[in-house]
Structure 1
């Protein structure tokens, strides 16, 4: 498998698979099921639909049940009278994106626009901003965690595959009744127009729901809107993002062990493990260095990789960003004389090369700092390194939001490292 394929798999893992698994399995930062409040929450996705949503509203009105609708902004604009009817009849309206696209397939800015367009569409109709959000298919990307300050993210605890017509109403009704507990959040769909759904599936959902509500009435179950249910359950944990970060760091460091083994990335000195290294050929445009040397395509280089486990330890032990920067520079300066020893044993190496967001002070240490050329590598490196900064750096989120951090190429010739950082010296000659 090529390095590009592995890199794409890493990006996919970090960007969406790992965050989605942690949120879905661990429930970090999202509401998936009531814990203290008895009461069933009926929720409906993918609408409004001009054929099925009116029938659903009639059914809910007949049983005096209040539900929560996670609507698509584009459909809200197309059928404003249905949104207004939901609102007037006491149902809660949330967002399910502007169109039914998975967040994994969109950039953070695209997701943000989907939500802002949906908020605007719904607010223009009912005069209130929706604050409850369910991402399509329950799939998120890592940057969606920032949305937790603006929206209450709501998933579900009971799903019965009502987007399929197979089995008809009996399958849906039987699954609802057999799996139900009195504090579930039930996911149903009042439209069959999304990818993977049968167009006539809502017919069977409505038939099954009618019989389900009749049985629930007999059992004297209570139905609640999501906002009422969450209020009765009490406030959300205040720091879900920090807990999520620690979990992601743990799994990420385990993944890095596998990555290092696959690509033969290893520590150079057990005493100064701020960097791991990989001996490889440089591939890319010529880099002209500060000392009139250059790195050309095909040159043998030492590729530097930050030891993120060490970096995370330093962050945890540093009380301020200034202290972190000082400790980081000190460790780099301790590492470079050891690198000189390695270069003297590998005289065929032309230079040292890396891509990083932590490049402040690199020029003073003799490195050339350059922007990445436009292209796939730049885009993927940008996503990957911004994720790491967001997770590892104490002010990563704030600095990313301000645009203060962006990936750069840092490079230095082997001869310059040997000249500046003699192996028999404990301090570098700056």
Structure 2
């Protein structure tokens, strides 16, 4: 009996669990997010529903938003007028099986029949076949990958639990607004009859969605269909790279995502990510920042990291090194005031001594007040140079040729700036200064701060 159970475990893992992990972690043969696409995508599962789908369509029309509906075939069959309306109003219709049943518990042939039957219903009602498929609960099996030539599997990058009524409108709207970013594929539900869902939950979804669409208009973000997002993503620079470079870039960006998660990096402007930061202790040799301030081991620093995806896209879109430098300078000019505002409003960040970073692109930072220092020779410096040289060969417009021509100049450097200098440059005060000014002791504190070593920045 134990042997049988063990074999069943192995078979189920090979059939469904491992393919599910591969698709979710690595995006193998599925579409989850429109990286680099300036718009976002609203997707709705489990409908159509005669109570909620008409109201949803009215809402989308009101805000000129396009969406993708992954319909359950039996629901589509029962509500043909809604399928026709979805199609007539310019939305995309995808497949969500004929019945809402997990692919884990169905044989490959059964899954194929579910897809084909739903596709036939869509075709008979609209005159067009669907080539986009979302398996129920996003659960794929081994044979779903083989159907790629027939349908494109679409998952999501943001899920909110909107099938639970207890989440409520306010909390749901808060979660949706937090993920309202370019490239996001949002998963929502316009039907509450699926097992495990609350029948009235779509009521809260509609209210939260309207708040999200209002905010999207304010930010200049637009909801587009999944097929349009996929086309836009395929036209991005990554697709034009040779296979070897694409592999390197994907591994690099995967590592960046892990790094952000492990070290809990914060983003200066989440809606347009460029600079990320974290507070940490400096571990290097003493470094003089100016005539009065010296950075020593154990001092708190704000470590800066440039967003690698944005850096990659700027690099491959730039025609020359000069154009890349200009674009980076403009992005930094836009970010520095926001960074100063964040630091000035946070006592813990304002306690840091310096901004700190490590980079091979170290000629532009002086413009913003950073000082450049050699990275102490050692294994860290050598590994950093090796790592950054590979990446620079991909990012830099001149590619690998740049490494051959100026390999002597490609040396990682530390870039540093006292935090006090950043705040002063952008007319910001430390939290302590603000409190003192409100209590009428600002002048005394200003005098004491003038003699105090304040924090600085590190950029990567």
TM-score range, shorter chain: 0.5 to 0.7
Is the aligned partner of 1:164 residue 2:164? yes
Distance in 2 (CA, whole Å) between partners of 1:200 and 1:166 is 10
Is the aligned partner of 1:117 residue 2:109? no
- Give deviations 1:106-153, integer Å, cap 9, x for gaps: 000000100110010110000000000000001011011111111111
Aligned to 2:411: none
Distance in 1 (CA, whole Å) between partners of 2:233 and 2:15 is 31
Distance in 2 (CA, whole Å) between partners of 1:233 and 1:188 is 22
Is the aligned partner of 1:43 residue 2:43? yes
Is the aligned partner of 1:22 residue 2:26? no
Secondary structure of the structure 1 residue equivalent to 2:211: helix
Residues 164, 201 of structure 1: 8 Å contact kept: yes
Distance in 2 (CA, whole Å) between partners of 1:177 and 1:69 is 21
Aligned to 1:136: 136
Distance in 1 (CA, whole Å) between partners of 2:122 and 2:211 is 31
Distance in 2 (CA, whole Å) between partners of 1:130 and 1:122 is 7
Distance in 2 (CA, whole Å) between partners of 1:232 and 1:182 is 12
Distance in 1 (CA, whole Å) between partners of 2:18 and 2:178 is 31
Distance in 2 (CA, whole Å) between partners of 1:180 and 1:90 is 22
Offset at 1:87? Answer: 0.4
1:20-419 matched pairs, under 5 angstroms: 20-234=20-234
Distance in 1 (CA, whole Å) between partners of 2:87 and 2:136 is 22
Aligned to 2:2: 2
Offset at 1:209? Answer: 0.5
Offset at 1:70? Answer: 0.3
Distance in 2 (CA, whole Å) between partners of 1:210 and 1:218 is 13
> Any unmatched runs of 5+ in structure 1?
244-430
Distance in 1 (CA, whole Å) between partners of 2:211 and 2:144 is 37
Residues 180, 216 of structure 2: 8 Å contact kept: no
Secondary structure of the structure 1 residue equivalent to 2:166: coil
Distance in 2 (CA, whole Å) between partners of 1:206 and 1:162 is 10
- Give deviations 1:344-378, integer Å, cap 9, x for gaps: xxxxxxxxxxxxxxxxxxxxxxxxxxxxxxxxxxx
Offset at 1:179? Answer: 2.7
Q: Aligned residues, how many?
A: 240
Offset at 1:180? Answer: 2.7
Distance in 1 (CA, whole Å) between partners of 2:211 and 2:4 is 53
Secondary structure of the structure 1 residue equivalent to 2:51: coil
Runs of 4+ off more than 2 Å: 235-239
Distance in 2 (CA, whole Å) between partners of 1:224 and 1:12 is 36
Distance in 1 (CA, whole Å) between partners of 2:77 and 2:176 is 32
- Give deviations 1:171-204, integer Å, cap 9, x for gaps: 1100011233211000000000101100100000
Distance in 2 (CA, whole Å) between partners of 1:211 and 1:177 is 8
TM-score, scaled to structure 1: 0.54
Offset at 1:38? Answer: 1.1
Distance in 2 (CA, whole Å) between partners of 1:116 and 1:208 is 34
Offset at 1:167? Answer: 2.9
Aligned to 2:440: none
Secondary structure of the structure 2 residue equivalent to 1:167: helix
Distance in 1 (CA, whole Å) between partners of 2:4 and 2:136 is 28
Aligned to 1:404: none
TM-score, scaled to structure 2: 0.51
Distance in 1 (CA, whole Å) between partners of 2:67 and 2:184 is 13
- Give deviations 1:70-126, integer Å, cap 9, x for gaps: 001111111010000000000000000001000000000000100110010110000
Is the aligned partner of 1:13 residue 2:42? no
Distance in 1 (CA, whole Å) between partners of 2:65 and 2:181 is 17
Offset at 1:35? Answer: 1.5
Residues 16, 104 of structure 1: 8 Å contact kept: yes
Offset at 1:36? Answer: 2.3
Secondary structure of the structure 2 residue equivalent to 1:54: helix
Residues 164, 197 of structure 2: 8 Å contact kept: yes
Residues 95, 134 of structure 2: 8 Å contact kept: yes
Residues 158, 180 of structure 1: 8 Å contact kept: no
Offset at 1:216? Answer: 1.1
Offset at 1:17? Answer: 0.3
